[in-house]
Chains A and B, each alone.
Chain A
Amino acid sequence: MDNSLLVSLSQQLAAFRSMDVIANNLANVSTPGYKRETARFEEYLEQVRPAEGQKGTQSLSFVKDAGNLRDLSQGELTHTGAPLDVAINGNGYFAVQTPAGMRYTRDGHFSLDPNGQLVTSEGYPVQGDGGAITITPDAGDINIGTDGTISSIINGNINQLGKLQAVDFANDSALTKQGANLYSTTQAATPATASEQQGMLESSNVQPVIEITHMIDVTRAYQMTATLSSSQEDLMRQAISQLGAMPN
Chain B
Amino acid sequence: MRALSIAATGMQAQQTNVETIANNLANMNTTGFKEQRAEFEDLLYQNVVTPGAQTSDTGTFAPNGIQIGAGVKTSAIYRINTQGDLQSTGNPYDVAVQGAGFFEIQQPDGTDAYTRSGNFSLSPQGQLVTQDGLLVLPGISVPTNATAVTINSQGQVLATIPGNVTPQTVGQLELTVFPNPAGLNSIGSNLFLQTPASGTAQTGVPGSPGYGTIQQGYLETSNVNSVDEITALITAQRAYEMNSKVVTAADQMLQETAQLSGGA
The 26 sampled A-B contact pairs (Cβ below 8 Å) are: A15-B253, A16-B253, A19-B249, A19-B250, A23-B10, A24-B42, A26-B239, A26-B246, A27-B69, A27-B71, A28-B71, A29-B242, A30-B72, A67-B49, A69-B64, A109-B76, A111-B182, A112-B199, A115-B179, A137-B100, A139-B210, A140-B100, A176-B65, A177-B42, A181-B41, A223-B256
- Given A27-B243, A173-B51, CB of A68 within 8 Å of CB of B67: yes
Q: Which A residues, 153 to 180, have Cβ-Cβ distances below 8 Å to chain B?
A: 154-155, 171, 173-180
Q: Which A residues, 105 to 123, have Cβ-Cβ distances below 8 Å to chain B?
A: 107, 109, 111-116, 121-122
What residues of chain B have their CB less than 8 Å away from a CB belonging to chain A?
1-4, 6-7, 9-10, 13-14, 17, 37, 39-45, 47-52, 61-72, 75-76, 78, 80, 82, 99-100, 177-180, 182-183, 196-200, 202, 208-211, 225, 228, 235-236, 238-239, 242-243, 245-246, 249-250, 252-253, 256-257, 259-264
User: CB of A22 within 8 A of chain B?
Assistant: yes
User: CB of A90 within 8 A of chain B?
Assistant: no
Q: A17 to B37, alpha carbons, bound, how many Å?
A: 33
Residue pair B246, A208 in contact (C-beta under 8 Å): no
Residue pair B65, A27 in contact (C-beta under 8 Å): no
Selected contact of B13 from candidates A23, A30, A69, A212, CB within 8 Å:
A30
Name A's interface SS: mixed
Residue pair A138, B1 in contact (C-beta under 8 Å): no
Contact with B along A8-39 (1 / 0, CB 8 A): 00001001110111111011111110100101
Tell me how many residue pairs across A and B have CB atoms closer than 8 Å: 242
Residue pair B250, A81 in contact (C-beta under 8 Å): no
Q: Provide the residues of chain A in CB contact with B263, threshold 8 Å.
A: 230, 233-234, 237
Q: A113 to B182, alpha carbons, bound, how many Å?
A: 9
Residue pair B179, A137 in contact (C-beta under 8 Å): yes
Residue pair A179, B183 in contact (C-beta under 8 Å): no
Residue pair B177, A180 in contact (C-beta under 8 Å): no
Q: Provide the residues of chain B in CB contact with A109, threshold 8 Å.
A: 39, 76, 78
What residues of chain A have their CB less than 8 Å away from a CB belonging to chain B?
12, 15-17, 19-24, 26-32, 34, 37, 39-40, 65, 67-70, 79-83, 107, 109, 111-116, 121-122, 136-140, 154-155, 171, 173-181, 186, 208, 211-212, 215-216, 218-219, 222-223, 226, 229-230, 233-234, 237
Q: Provide the residues of chain B in CB contact with A176, threshold 8 Å.
A: 45, 47, 50-52, 65, 67
* Nearest-Cβ distance from residue A153 to partner chain B, whole angstroms: 10
Q: Provide the residues of chain A in CB contact with B51, threshold 8 Å.
A: 173-176
Q: Provide the residues of chain A in CB contact with B66, threshold 8 Å.
A: 39, 65, 67-68
Residue pair B68, A20 in contact (C-beta under 8 Å): yes
Residue pair A27, B209 in contact (C-beta under 8 Å): no
Residue pair A179, B44 in contact (C-beta under 8 Å): yes
Selected contact of B239 from candidates A23, A29, A139, A175, CB within 8 Å:
A29
Residue pair A81, B252 in contact (C-beta under 8 Å): no
Q: A74 to B78, alpha carbons, bound, how many Å?
A: 25
Q: A179 to B14, alpha carbons, bound, how many Å?
A: 18
- Given A176-B50, A219-B249, CB of A23 within 8 Å of CB of B71: yes
Closest-by-CB residue of A relative to B101 is A137
- Given A24-B69, A26-B7, A114-B198, CB of A177 within 8 Å of CB of B253: no
- Given A65-B66, A82-B78, A113-B180, CB of A31 within 8 Å of CB of B40: yes
Residue pair B183, A114 in contact (C-beta under 8 Å): yes
Residue pair A179, B242 in contact (C-beta under 8 Å): no
Residue pair B45, A179 in contact (C-beta under 8 Å): yes
Q: Provide the residues of chain A in CB contact with B246, threshold 8 Å.
A: 19, 22-23, 26, 215
Q: A26 to B10, alpha carbons, bound, how many Å?
A: 7
Residue pair A211, B7 in contact (C-beta under 8 Å): no
Closest-by-CB residue of B relative to A182 is B41
Q: Provide the residues of chain B in CB contact with A34, threshold 8 Å.
A: 42
- Given A215-B249, A237-B263, CB of A40 within 8 Å of CB of B64: yes
* Nearest-Cβ distance from residue A187 to partner chain B, whole angstroms: 8
Q: Provide the residues of chain B in CB contact with A234, threshold 8 Å.
A: 263
Q: Provide the residues of chain A in CB contact with B256, threshold 8 Å.
A: 222-223, 226
Known A-B contacts: A171-B52, A211-B242. Give 15 more (CB < 8 A): A23-B250, A79-B228, A80-B37, A82-B78, A109-B78, A111-B78, A114-B199, A115-B179, A138-B210, A139-B210, A174-B52, A176-B50, A176-B67, A223-B256, A230-B262
Residue pair B42, A70 in contact (C-beta under 8 Å): no
* Nearest-Cβ distance from residue B195 to partner chain A, whole angstroms: 9
